[in-house]
């Protein structure tokens, strides 16, 4: 069997020598490694840019400005025509804000509601039921269990402390009292001191016991 003749390289006009073949293969390997290094560099750069973009968009995005407080005192004045009982609208420092205020029927009881954001950015809801019944109070308190009482500015409030519960949500702490034909219920996530501040602001509007 006749041995196969080496291929003639066009640019040489003759077959490659063993050294030339080795040099060609070495050069091809070098170019391949260089290409791989460049591709790896591009890939690493793209990945780094993606991480930076994620941090800018998700982590370092600016904090949105707080929502403008609702003028609950004006809304209470407008809603007063629907109630023969004075609607509670306490005067509070500017560090307090309201994010909701409405007069509605709840459990068939006319109800005045204000949602407060406290100075420590916690939440307290004020509910005033006109001619309220036990069913209304249980619904507004999310069936919380009485745990004690507290007297603030001469007004005695029943306390419903659920802070040790697994998931108390917006009913972590609640307070309830009566004034004339109204039942006032406060509930939310704030501290005792912020509940006391709100109850103190409410007290001038409540009937003396």
Q: Which residues contact 97 (CB under 8 A, 6 or more apart)?
A: 66, 67, 69, 70, 116, 117
The whole-number mean pLDDT for each consecutive block of 10 residues of the chain, a chain of 209 residues, reads 60 66 73 69 70 62 61 96 94 96 94 97 97 95 95 96 91 96 97 97 84
DSSP letters of 57-120? IIISPPPPPPPPPP-HHHHHHHHGGG-SSPPP-----TT-EEEEEEEEEETTEEEEEEEEE-TT
> What is the model's pLDDT at position 58?
56
> What is the model's pLDDT at position 163?
94
> What is the model's pLDDT at position 28?
72
> What is the model's pLDDT at position 67?
57
């Amino acid at each position: 069997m006749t041995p196969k003749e080496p291929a003639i390289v066009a640019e040489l006009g003759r077959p490659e020598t063993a050294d030339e073949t080795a040099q060609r293969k070495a050069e091809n390997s070098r170019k391949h490694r260089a290409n791989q290094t460049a591709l790896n560099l591009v890939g690493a750069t793209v990945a780094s840019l993606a991480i930076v973009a994620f941090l800018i968009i998700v982590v370092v995005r600016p904090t949105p400005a707080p929502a403008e407080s609702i003028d609950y005192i004006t809304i209470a004045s407008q809603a007063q025509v629907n109630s023969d009982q004075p609607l509670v609208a306490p005067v509070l420092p500017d560090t307090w804000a309201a994010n909701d205020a409405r007069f509605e029927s709840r459990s068939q009881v006319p109800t005045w509601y204000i949602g407060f954001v406290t100075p420590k950015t916690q939440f307290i809801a004020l509910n005033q039921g006109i001619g309220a019944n036990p069913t209304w109070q249980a619904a507004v308190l999310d069936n919380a269990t009485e745990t004690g009482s507290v007297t603030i500015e001469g007004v005695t409030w029943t306390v419903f402390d659920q802070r040790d519960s697994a998931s108390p949500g917006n009913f972590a702490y609640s307070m309830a009292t009566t004034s004339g034909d109204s039942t006032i219920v406060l509930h939310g996530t704030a501290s005792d001191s912020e509940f006391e501040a709100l109850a103190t602001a409410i007290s001038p509007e409540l009937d003396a016991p």
